[in-house]
């Protein structure tokens, strides 16, 4: 998993550049559009202004009469025109409106009014469009410079007798455009400043929301999370601050037998209170969300196939509640291994004790021979042969012909004897064949014997004053039947003794069957192989007899008719 970090500020810088670039591009586009519209609007206003001046002047009766009198004339005297009413009227309008020029012509295009008196009586320099009876506007350069000009026909009745040409200087238009551009640039600058501030706030919010992580780091974090969640054997369930399940890995689904992600009943996205969790797990989550003590966060769960240890842990970062994490660990394999190890340890301890005692006898025999006391040595050997196996405190253990089970029961007998309990093999025992699955059988039988011994030690002695545990074994083909009885106080009525974690043990030797795991594990192992473990008799009656547990374990023995025979070659 990569641990490289993106240089600090890279994401912020990129976000700022991108956002400002977007805003700048938008402002430029808007500015261009506004400028185009403004130019069109200003020119349109200038054209309308020129048309308005021309129409007003063309409708003046005095001017119409004066122009009509010169209709058809090809040559007009400039001196006369300078003092004429048309020139005076045109100049008065030009000066009053600020127009660049006001030119009036007759129907032959001869100027009757012009800002330059020297041009009076001369033909116009531009096309006399209005003489055709049509108004026109244009942007053109004439003798007085570039202007926005309008031409309006002068009519007397229905007859066109001349035209009025009015020009608005481009400088006026340019001034209006400059004012508009300045306003637009100020607005654009304010927009950029606001955009920069908004971008900074957005980036700050993003960094706070992402806990200061860069996008590359978040992507790597997701990959690392997937690797961790789906690479561990423990189950993991994440619960958000709103109480909804945000994540769960495959191990959690398997351990708690949850629906798959593709199923409609998937738990991800649902409140944990609506999920079919074990009530103990739901209560533990609720306590942790309410600020419960850490010791209240660990619970044992019992499913149909497993014993699970669940721990609920609240998660905080920078003072912010991020929710809870539920860690699930399968204890089934651990308890199974512990039971098998206990069985092997019992045999090892018994063999070690027997080896020690057997070594002492050999030393005694060797000493007698070394001293030449051959007769005493023979007598000593005869006594050993008459006394049977070395320190075998299990009554009737010889009824168990299977060597491994016999050694195991003998080892358990030694442990029980050291604790003041007599382990006995029942007279009804009839076991034939050889054991195939030694580990599971010894784990189940060992748990039943240990629980029975603990129950006897924690109870009052029986009516005859004895403390005992009876084991009966019966073979039926490849199936092994077990029964373990004791002289304890029995099982309390209504107690589900096989439920995981069920135990009323308050001390190291209380008179209760089970530590909360052993019996549940034994039943689970038996059911895995197609058998079962059950409480045949809860005991606790007036006759002083304790509980009786029974088990049926199919397929763990080699039937007698198929068991290999011992010959001189195989012996």
Q: Which two tokens stand for residue 245?
A: 């399940």
Tokens matching residue 167: 């020009």
Rounded distance between C-alpha atoms, residue 266 and residue 283, angstroms: 21
Q: What secondary structure letter does DSSP report for 478? A: T
Residue count of the chain: 571
Q: Which CATH superfamily is domain 230-330 in?
A: PAS domain (3.30.450.20)
Q: Where in the chain is the domain with CATH 3.30.450.20?
A: 14-176, 230-330
Which residue ranges does the chain devote to CATH 3.30.565.10?
391-561
b/e sequence 400-422, b meaning 16+ C-beta within 10 Å: bebeebbbbbbbbbbbbeeeebb
Contacts of 571 (CB under 8 A, 6+ apart): none
- Supply the CATH classification number for the domain 14-176: 3.30.450.20
Residue 561, φ and ψ in degrees, nearest 5: -70, -15
Assigned architecture for domain 391-561 = 2-Layer Sandwich (3.30)
pLDDT per residue rounded down to tens, the chain (571 residues): 544 454 545 766 777 788 778 878 887 888 788 778 877 777 788 888 888 998 989 888 988 888 888 888 888 888 888 888 888 888 898 888 888 889 998 888 888 898 888 888 888 877 767 787 888 888 776 666 667 888 999 888 888 889 999 988 766 666 767 777 788 788 888 888 888 888 788 878 877 777 777 778 888 888 887 787 777 888 899 999 999 998 888 888 888 888 887 666 678 888 988 888 888 888 889 988 888 777 677 887 776 667 788 889 888 877 788 889 999 888 777 767 776 777 677 767 767 766 777 777 788 878 888 888 888 788 877 877 766 555 567 888 888 888 888 888 888 888 888 888 999 999 889 988 888 878 888 888 988 998 899 888 877 766 666 789 999 999 998 899 999 999 888 888 878 777 655 553 444 444 344 455 678 778 888 888 889 999 998 887 766 678 999 999 999 898 765 444 444 443 3
């Amino acid at each position: 998993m990569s641990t490289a970090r993106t240089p600090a500020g890279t994401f912020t810088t990129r976000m700022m550049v991108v956002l400002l670039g977007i805003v700048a591009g938008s402002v430029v586009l808007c500015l261009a559009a506004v400028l185009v519209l403004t130019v069109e609007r200003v020119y349109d206003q200038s054209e309308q202004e020129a048309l308005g001046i021309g129409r007003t002047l063309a409708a003046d009766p005095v001017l119409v009469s004066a122009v009509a009198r010169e209709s058809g004339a090809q040559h007009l005297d400039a001196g006369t025109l300078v003092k004429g009413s048309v020139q005076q009227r045109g100049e008065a309008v030009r000066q009053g409106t600020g127009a660049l020029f006001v030119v009036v012509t007759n129907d032959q295009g001869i100027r009757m009014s012009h800002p330059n008196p020297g041009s009076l009586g001369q033909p116009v320099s531009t096309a006399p469009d209005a003489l055709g009876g049509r108004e026109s506007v244009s942007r053109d350069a004439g003798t007085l410079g570039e202007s926005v000009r309008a031409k309006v026909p002068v009519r007397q009745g229905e007859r066109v007798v001349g035209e009025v040409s009015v020009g608005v200087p481009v400088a006026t238009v340019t001034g209006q455009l400059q004012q508009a551009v300045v306003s637009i640039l100020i607005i654009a600058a304010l927009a950029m400043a606001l955009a920069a501030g908004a971008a900074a706030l957005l980036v700050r919010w993003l960094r706070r929301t992402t806990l200061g992580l860069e996008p590359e780091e978040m992507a790597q974090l997701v990959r690392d999370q997937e690797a961790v969640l789906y690479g561990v054997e423990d189950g993991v369930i994440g619960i958000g601050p709103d109480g909804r399940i945000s994540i769960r890995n495959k191990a959690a689904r398997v351990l708690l037998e949850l629906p798959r992600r593709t199923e409609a009943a998937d738990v991800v996205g649902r409140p944990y209170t609506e999920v079919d969790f074990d009530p103990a797990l739901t209560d533990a989550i609720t306590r942790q969300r309410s600020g419960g003590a850490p010791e209240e966060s660990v619970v044992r769960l019992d499913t149909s196939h497993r014993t699970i240890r669940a721990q609920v842990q609240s998660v905080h970062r920078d003072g912010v509640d991020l929710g809870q994490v539920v860690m699930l660990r399968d204890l089934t394999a651990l308890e199974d291994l512990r039971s098998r190890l206990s069985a092997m340890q019992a045999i090892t301890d018994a063999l070690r004790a027997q080896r020690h005692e057997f070594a002492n006898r050999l030393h005694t025999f060797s000493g007698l021979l070394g001293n030449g006391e051959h007769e005493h040595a023979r007598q000593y050997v005869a006594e050993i042969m008459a006394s049977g196996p070395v320190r075998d405190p299990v009554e009737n253990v010889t009824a168990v012909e299977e060597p491994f089970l016999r050694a195991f029961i003998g080892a358990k007998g030694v442990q029980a004897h050291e604790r003041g309990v007599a382990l006995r093999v029942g007279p009804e025992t009839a076991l034939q064949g050889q054991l195939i699955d030694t580990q599971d059988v010894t784990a189940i039988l060992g748990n039943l014997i240990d629980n029975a011994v603990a129950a006897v030690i924690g109870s009052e002695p029986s009516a005859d004053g004895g403390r005992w545990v009876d084991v009966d074994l019966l073979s039926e083909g490849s199936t092994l039947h077990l029964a373990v009885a004791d002289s304890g106080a029995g099982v309390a009525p209504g107690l589900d003794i096989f439920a995981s974690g069920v135990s009323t043990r308050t001390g190291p030797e209380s008179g209760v069957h089970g530590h909360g795991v052993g019996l549940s594990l034994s039943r689970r192992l038996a059911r895995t192989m197609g058998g079962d473990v059950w409480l045949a008799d809860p005991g606790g009656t007036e006759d002083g007899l304790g509980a009786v547990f029974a088990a049926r374990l199919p397929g763990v023995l080699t039937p007698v008719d198929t068991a290999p025979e011992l010959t001189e070659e195989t012996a």
